[in-house]
Structure 1
């Protein structure tokens, strides 16, 4: 009897800790997203089966409370980006995600017994995890957004991936202009100011991921946001 109990415990533990494979998403990104983050929406639309299969994998393998933080981060970042592309393709061709009515509030996807929107994932899940770098990993399908990484986020690599995404976003002069005494920043830093000030000042956060030494009283302003589609 004890033998069967041990086998059941091992089997159940494997189910609890099982992680969904992000291979389909990784291959799709490598095939249809450039190193600059430009998305070939037409190419994905020509064969949406891979995207649909990946979303199904996510829906059937939701995180449990036993998952580690990095496992949850990778899952929900990948989910957000895959669902954003799915949203665009439902209406493609379009010039901007802003052409859609309340795009981030559309409850289009079923996860467990809930229908979820992009805002649900961003505000009710990811932001509550206390990791401000998620704002440079989730992508709103627009030119001024951080670039879409052309590989899947994974639990093992996510620390390096998030730091790289943050550093590349800050060093992109089309999105942020950073000098010692003046910071002309993406409006992402304005919209989510609370997230970046949680454990540090905004200037302090930027100093961590920029090669520029930021003056304590550097002037801060915000650039216009380009909502054109990131293709």
Structure 2
């Protein structure tokens, strides 16, 4: 941080979560401005999540404030004109924090989010938190790449592997729907990173197919690949992309673990490839449905997930909606209404409402970014 002649009177507040590359990029940029930056991890302080949404109208992180001036997310910060940035720096240096400054966490508030879980749920939470911490430690300062090689040599990765062995003792059949959802989402996301560390990130279609059908954990005495977790368990044993058969046959013991129906919201919790992350990275059974709704809302706010063109009466959506159209109702009309129902109040939602009301909406799909974030 640069030295100022005197201490600035205000502050910059950044709401973020651990393991979010956009948050890291924003912090790297703010770190060059020579003013105090307070980071608030809304993953550890979920009580502030709703408050930040109220203040910003957005569900994604990071959200950045100079005193009480809301700048937006990382994209907004990077696009800001230098003179505008200087004006805000001056504001923080010269003006004390106003009464309506964005909130900081209550010091007495516990940041233990796993307090209400036990057994399988707390193990999945612990594994996910551990791998996110590792991920954060090996994320480049600008948040653009991950040093997977360095990560695999970190002694904490060995500890993670030892802990993952305990998954074979988990009793899956006794889990409720909510526990299953939280457990398998956390495990899937942790296993993707673990797979990258062991096999490297897939770079073409064939490698991706192999990766998702091969990378697996032994859970409760049965092997579950990434494909088995997503399509077998979380999508109610439906065929995945380019699969001829359902993941579990009628006699497969893993079929008893599968959820009765596809849960469309899981698609926004299984890895985040958009420009802003949902403000949740680990899921808990207690309020899993509202956490998943938040993740969907955050995803749909991104222009690489949903773009509404009122003039052309066209809606451009992420490929996820094409690949898994059956999960969102199976028809264009049902798909559009599902998207509308899961959007936060915003100008984009109002535009979508208008386009749907006008009828004859054209749906197209946005290119999907398969680029890996490895630094090697």
Same topology, TM > 0.5: yes
SS of match in other structure, 1:201: helix
Question: Counterparts of 2:219 and 2:274 in 1: how far apart (Å)?
Answer: 29
Question: Counterparts of 1:221 and 1:38 in 2: how far apart (Å)?
Answer: 29
Q: Does 1:173 align with 2:306?
A: no
Deviation at 1:107, TM superposition (A): 5.6
Deviation at 1:70, TM superposition (A): 0.8
Q: Greater shift after overlay, 37-46 or 74-83? A: 37-46
Question: Counterparts of 2:295 and 2:196 in 1: how far apart (Å)?
Answer: 22
Question: Counterparts of 1:158 and 1:41 in 2: how far apart (Å)?
Answer: 31
Aligned residue for 2:270? 138
Once the two structures are superposed, residues 56-114 of structure 1 have per-residue CA deviations (whole angstroms, 9 ceiling, x without a partner) of 243322422x322111000111111111111111123x473747262111164322343
Q: Structure 2: state its 5+ residue gaps.
A: 1-117, 237-258
Question: Counterparts of 2:163 and 2:300 in 1: how far apart (Å)?
Answer: 30
Question: Counterparts of 1:197 and 1:132 in 2: how far apart (Å)?
Answer: 9
CA separation of 1:31 and 1:117: change in aligned 2, threshold 3 A = closer
Question: Counterparts of 2:119 and 2:367 in 1: how far apart (Å)?
Answer: 43
- State the number of aligned residues: 210
SS of match in other structure, 2:315: strand
- Name the TM-score, length of structure 2 as normaliser: 0.49
Aligned residue for 1:44? 151
Q: Structure 1: state its 5+ residue gaps.
A: 1-16
SS of match in other structure, 2:218: strand
Question: Counterparts of 1:59 and 1:38 in 2: how far apart (Å)?
Answer: 35
- Name the TM-score, length of structure 1 as normaliser: 0.76
Question: Among 191, 195, 199, which residue is 2:327 paired with?
Answer: 195
Larger Rg: 2
Aligned residue for 1:55? 164
Deviation at 1:44, TM superposition (A): 3.2
Q: Does 1:67 align with 2:199?
A: no
Deviation at 1:169, TM superposition (A): 0.9
Aligned residue for 2:371? 228
Deviation at 1:176, TM superposition (A): 2.4
Once the two structures are superposed, residues 97-144 of structure 1 have per-residue CA deviations (whole angstroms, 9 ceiling, x without a partner) of 7472621111643223432211111111101133200001112x8x46
Question: Among 99, 109, 115, which residue is 2:223 paired with?
Answer: 115
SS of match in other structure, 1:184: strand
